[in-house]
Structure 1
């Protein structure tokens, strides 16, 4: 898959990480929250994460 220059990512364990560079290969990602009301970035995550092959 080709990298998406609009989505930077340093999570190399993700199935969608562009292994050569710190980008995502998805066209878009889903950002999710852990709380009913997110007040900081620690309350959010990439909901598109899938564990890649180890």
Structure 2
């Protein structure tokens, strides 16, 4: 895992293991965005699949 912030991926979920504590960024080089429905129709249908509880 890379511990430096990835300025291409903003994140405000500080409960995530990959949150760059101190700044609102992710430390992962790549994240996986997932969906809850067969067809995502709005933002509520999607999530960050890379989330891991801190």
Q: TM-score range, shorter-chain basis? A: over 0.9
- Please state whether the residue corresponding to 1:45 is helix, strand or coil: strand
Gaps of 5+ in 2: none
CA RMSD of aligned residues (A): 0.3
* Residues matched between the structures, number: 52
**Residue equivalent to 2:33:** 31
The separation in 1 between residues aligned to 2:44 and 2:31, in whole angstroms, is: 17
Q: How many angstroms apart in 1 are the aligned matches of 2:8 and 2:30?
A: 9
Moved over 2 A (4+): none
Q: Which runs of 5 or more residues in structure 1 are unaligned?
A: none
TM-score, normalisation: structure 2: 0.95
The structural deviation recorded for 1:42 is: 0.4
**Within 5 A, what are the aligned runs for 1:11-26?**
11-26=13-28
